[in-house]
Amino acid sequence: MDTHNIQHAASLSNQMKHRDREMVPRALVIGMFSLMVAATALVAFDSFTDRPILAKAPDSKVLQTRMIQLEGSRSGGVLVTDTTGAKIGHSLENKAGFIDVIWGSILRERTARGINTNDPLRLVRRENGHFAVIDDATSWKIELIGYGKDNVAAFARLID
């Protein structure tokens, strides 16, 4: 009986070694590393040749501008006020959670540049129907294109 257990354990050990070698096929590993090297090479080429930015939102005339301020916290949401301090929105109301995302991006950008202010932001409606949030303190801007209708609507309601 002892020999049978030893043979069975050896058989299981051989099966596990064989199984472990085949869990990730070699061709897949080579393919993954090839894609990684190719992506790195493309980024390096683009960086070293100073190619112009091609994927840029088209410029469109500004039809309407509203100065807004964002103030909040991660747990309590973000209050949106106009320059007089009057509340015009809140990120916890009307599916406006995207305001939190933009607020976080602005804070990160200002922190990275050493800017410790709560200067107002420009919310603009463009002629082509798009909206943008512009931070004049850092020259940061985001064109609200492709973020989903609820996310864009969170800012559209602020300018109407």
Model confidence over 25-37: pLDDT tens digits?
889 999 999 999 9
Whether 73 is covered by a domain: the verdict is yes
Whether 34 is covered by a domain: the verdict is yes
Domain that holds residue 8: 2-48
Q: Contact at 8 Å (CB) between 157 and 89?
A: yes
pLDDT, residue 4, reads 61
Residues 141 and 87 in one domain: yes
pTM flag (> 0.85): no
Residues 37 and 87 in one domain: no
Map tokens 């990120």 to a residue. 91
Both tokens of 11, joined, read 């058989």
| Beta carbons within 10 angstroms of residue 45's beta carbon | 10
Below-50 pLDDT ranges, the chain? none
